[in-house]
Amino acid sequence: MSILDIRVLGDPVLREDTTLVGEITDELRALARDMFDTMHVAKGIGLAAPQVGRSERLAVIDVEDQRFVIINPEVVHGEGKAKAEEGCLSIPDVYGDVERPAKVRVRATNLEGQEFEVEAEGLLARCLQHEIDHLHGKLFIDYLSVLKRRAALAKWAKEKEKYPGFIRTLELDPTRAHEHPDEEL
Ligand code: K1U
Ligand code: ZN
């Protein structure tokens, strides 16, 4: 089990398109496990492969205990509109209101290689769309108005000083260190 470093805004990997996953290997299963652990330590509800420096089209999601590994996901239907605040583990402490389809149907493959569909609304719908965007180099700040984007980037200009090399190393909560005995404190 490993807690992975998270790449932050400025790292080119966050702007690259990902590569379709072919064979589902043990290495990919280990990556998904590490991504779940990393997302939980970061207190996120989703995490996409580019955020940990990888180019596979894969993301993990845990919204209100609904957990998914989505491989090669696609939004096959969207309807309505909903606006809500979003954050991003790759742009810490920057937030903005994003309008997206309120309901979506997403088709993806799971770690067993089976295709499945999930219909979602509310936070799960938002998170699915946020993660699928990551897999195509798109970030929530891209949806903001010019003025709000400018304000978000001004905030990030200060925040990014905390992340040399565009790398965010997560700190383990020392009271929960027994859950990750291999990690250095
Ligand atoms: O991909 C990521 O950067 C993870 C991101 C996903 C996300 C957040 C908000 C709306 C849609 C998708 C996060 O998990 S940031 C953490 C966060 O904002 C949050 C945590 C718990 C509940 C709600 C939001
Ligand atoms: Zn994000």
Euclidean distance between the first and the last CA atom of the chain, given in angstroms as a whole number: 15
Confidence of residue 185 (pLDDT cuts 50, 70, 90): very low
Give pLDDT tens digits for 162-171. Answer: 999 999 999 8
For range 118-144, the mean pLDDT: 98
Token pair 């938002």: residue: 126
Confidence of residue 173 (pLDDT cuts 50, 70, 90): confident
Q: What length does the chain have? A: 185
Q: Which amino acid is residue 78, in one-letter code? A: G
Nearest to 153 by CA among 99, 95, 83: 95
Ligand 1 atom nearest the C-alpha of 131 is 1
For range 139-148, the mean pLDDT: 98
Contacts of 111 (CB under 8 A, 6+ apart): 24, 28, 29, 32, 69, 71
Q: What is the C-alpha to C-alpha distance for residues 106 and 74, in angstroms, rounded to an integer?
A: 6
Predicted confidence (pLDDT) at residue 148 exceeds the cutoff of 80: yes
Which pLDDT score, from 0 to 100, does residue 126 have? 98
Give the closest residue (by CA) to ligand 1 atom 3.
88
Ligand 1 atom nearest the C-alpha of 95 is 18
Give pLDDT tens digits for 99-125. Answer: 999 999 999 999 999 999 999 999 999
Q: How far is the CA of 92 from the centre of ligand 1 (A)?
A: 10
Give pLDDT tens digits for 76-104. Answer: 999 999 999 999 999 999 999 999 999 99
Give pLDDT tens digits for 51-79. Answer: 999 999 999 999 999 999 999 999 999 99
Q: Is 15 helix (H, G, I), strand (E, B) or coil?
A: helix
Give pLDDT tens digits for 22-45. Answer: 999 999 999 999 999 999 999 999
- pTM score of the predicted model: 0.95
Q: How far is the CA of 162 from the centre of ligand 1 (A)?
A: 20
